[in-house]
Structure 1
């Protein structure tokens, strides 16, 4: 991949690249808001549209399914569109979906608007990650990807609470209006600051599928799903855990979750830097640390002070693996990375749903205190996946060297 003939002098690239990455981060920030903001507005939406809370909860489920299905489908349909134009198209879909959410007159049309918005989610983050990696030096690729993904994490610290406040004060439709404005700002930034990226030889659909079904790529996708499953098996039920096990009042949980959000953001940034340094070793260490921290949660949660510290550390470790997973997928499918990169977000959302489901089963049969053990087991399975992937790669490398020497 090369920049188009409208290249900028090297002295100006330092000014333009951070700003272009920021445009992608703003887009990811808006996407994070639209995914999670509905959680804080469920009662408002349910009352306004005259549905039950469980029915309103389907707005979350439909979005997750839209991401899981939409990312690969939309990628297949648009894989020949130049990446900057594709990014602009995806943001237009995102803006349209949120604008339709503002005016949706009933429950079913709101679900349709949510699914439309979700279709842009995974493909935007996948394409955005590919572009971010090409805007920086090769040794800074993981850090660039983590900067884009930081938009998702920061949205949970700032965007979701602020958007929820707007929705509670001005009505839930106002929250989606604010997200629409953010989408427009991101689109303007993409048009103005993202450079044209020319593909010397656009990958065919068959190449994209071959990259996706590469056993190594499928293994890393599974590993990413396990990481997300580990996270959401606990995070989905973190409020009742902090209230019933640690003894916190409901209003205190909000601030603990904000602290968790800071941990997630720090982990995402540090994970990107570690992946730039030593990708596979850092992933293995991170998964191992994550499993240990989750096991320690069983000991620390009964103590309120230790619970707060461990929740923060858990956030750092949980998201420390995410940039490395994305870069690993991009490295393995470098000749045709688009479908694989976008499918990683489908796998992540399936992991989110699977983790929440398994967590619910664990609560039903063994109680809240068993959730950290479940999450630790999923993290250990993720560690095994990384170790297998690393071992296979080393074996192939050694065999190649032996054949060359022969």
Structure 2
């Protein structure tokens, strides 16, 4: 496939639209908790379990269902996952029982996780090698846009029309993507047939496990620090900011820009080199965060926008590397699903670790210092992938010369 056909390009855009609705669904529930708490007469702690149900099902369930998808049913698997996501959001919107709502949020999480993994795999299959990075960036940028633009919009609608309206908006966008893909998505190439045991061999692939560990450390640092940006900026020694909302917007806008702009770079720069640079920049921006906050309320916007940009951009080269590492075995989709699981696990670890830091009554700047240290550890770990790639190039070079 040398040149992508217009239909193939349109399919990638439609997958990105689905990713936009996925981004909304992933983060909107947290903002709906006060409305749901009132609607079902439950406590905040109980209502928050809706987020837990979604994230656990997304992070733990999606790799299992991706692994179970028949290799010759990639197109059907993607459409079923998106259809399940749409139906589960609609069922959530009409739920009158809280436990039923919890179950449907878990089902939504499974559909979302499977769809994103298979959507990225489909987009790369439909794109020539020199455009794969751009295709992945388009999908990740769609998801980032759903978080940054879609979530505030849906929350505004929810305040006027009820929490159900936000989920109906997610359902509508997902349904639009589903209808478009039903018509436009071509048949996808079948992956090599393999048993479940053979698929589990991916866990013994040192290269893949290093990539996943880097993603885990990046999530611990980036998403973990995101959880505690408010207490840091509210500290009198670091700006005494009254409202953190503008800074969350700055972080999110940086994420959208980073997700889209990294695409052309991925197609030109070797993946391990780019990931190392991103992790190093992420570490530096987190280390600089408290110093910038102490120097000025708006100066801190610089490390925040850089942090958001590289934090979101990272997953484009990471997913691209995973697909290239496992395309011969035909389980690139499973590798991506495991990467998403690593991100959710890292986010949970980062939030728990930050809470522990505050429990020890350590100064708030230590949150950023710890996050920066974790990102630095990820950058150093990435050196293993750089050396592995260099070793592979040395091995292949004599063969080419021979």
Interval containing the TM-score (normalised by the shorter chain): over 0.9
Cα distance between partner residues in 1 of 2:26 and 2:371: 23
1:271 Cα deviation after fit: 2.4
Match for residue 343 of structure 1 among 338, 341, 344: 338
Equivalent position of 2:224 in the other structure? 233
Change (3 A) 1:349 1:246: same
Q: Does 1:215 align with 2:206?
A: yes
Cα distance between partner residues in 2 of 1:119 and 1:154: 21
Cα distance between partner residues in 2 of 1:191 and 1:263: 33
Q: Does 1:295 align with 2:287?
A: yes
Q: Does 1:324 align with 2:320?
A: no
User: Greater CA deviation, 51-60 or 79-88?
Assistant: 79-88
User: Greater CA deviation, 167-176 or 267-276?
Assistant: 267-276
Q: Does 1:45 align with 2:36?
A: yes
Cα distance between partner residues in 2 of 1:355 and 1:396: 34
1:405 Cα deviation after fit: 7.3
Cα distance between partner residues in 2 of 1:41 and 1:146: 29
1:204 Cα deviation after fit: 4.0
Q: Does 1:164 align with 2:155?
A: yes
Change (3 A) 1:340 1:79: farther
Deviations along 1:373-392, one digit per CA (max 9) or x if unpaired, are: 11111111211221112212
Cα distance between partner residues in 2 of 1:213 and 1:118: 27
Cα distance between partner residues in 2 of 1:189 and 1:212: 35
Contact 1:271–1:322 (Cα < 8 Å) also in 2: no
Residue 301 of structure 1 aligns to a residue whose secondary structure is helix
Equivalent position of 1:6 in the other structure? none
Q: How many residues align?
A: 395
Contact 2:72–2:189 (Cα < 8 Å) also in 1: no
1:70 Cα deviation after fit: 1.0
Change (3 A) 1:201 1:39: closer
Q: Does 1:18 align with 2:37?
A: no
Contact 2:17–2:173 (Cα < 8 Å) also in 1: yes
Match for residue 250 of structure 2 among 253, 259, 264: 259
Change (3 A) 1:111 1:200: closer
User: Greater CA deviation, 266-275 or 37-46?
Assistant: 266-275
Change (3 A) 1:234 1:200: closer
Change (3 A) 1:139 1:203: farther
Match for residue 334 of structure 1 among 315, 318, 327: 327
1:327 Cα deviation after fit: 0.8
Unaligned residue ranges in structure 1 (runs of 5+):
3-8
Q: Does 1:249 align with 2:245?
A: no
Cα distance between partner residues in 1 of 2:272 and 2:297: 35
Aligned ranges 1:195-210 → 2 under 5 Å? 195-199=186-190, 201-210=192-201
Q: Does 1:307 align with 2:303?
A: no
TM-score (norm 1): 0.92
Contact 2:68–2:196 (Cα < 8 Å) also in 1: no
Deviations along 1:70-124, one digit per CA (max 9) or x if unpaired, are: 1111112223352111111001110121111112222211110110000112221
Cα distance between partner residues in 1 of 2:399 and 2:173: 54
Cα distance between partner residues in 1 of 2:399 and 2:124: 32
Deviations along 1:117-157, one digit per CA (max 9) or x if unpaired, are: 00112221111111111222201111110111111110122
Deviations along 1:145-174, one digit per CA (max 9) or x if unpaired, are: 011111111012210001111111111111
